[in-house]
Amino acid sequence: MSRNLRMMLVFGGFVAAVGAAFYPIYFRPLMYTREYQQDQKVNRAGINQEEIQPGGMKVWSDPFNRK
C-alpha cells in the first residue's frame, strides 16, 4: 500500500471519528429544536430557578427576547 494512501486513510478515519462524535453533540440539537425544547420542559418541571440561583444572581433570560 502506498504511503500517501495509508496517510489519507488514517486522516480520513480520524475526520470521520470526530464527525461521528460531534454529530449528536452539536448538529442533532440544531436540527430537532422542538424535541429538545420539549425535553427541557419535562426535565425542568418543578424546579424554581430563583431558589437554586447562586449568590443572589439574576435568573438568566434570553437577551434577544425569543419565545
DSSP 12-34: HHHHHHHHHHHIIIIIHHHH-HH
The confidence score (pLDDT) of residue 67 equals 62
Residue type, 33: T
Please tell me the distance from the alpha carbon of residue 52 to that of residue 25, in angstroms, as a whole number.
26
Q: What angle do CA 41, 27, 67 make, to 5 degrees?
A: 35
Contact at 8 Å (CB) between 40 and 50? no
Q: What count of other Cβ atoms lies within 10 Å of the Cβ of residue 42?
A: 8
Q: What is the pLDDT along the chain (67 residues), one digit of tens a residue?
A: 788 999 999 999 999 999 999 999 988 888 998 998 898 889 888 888 777 777 767 777 776 776 6
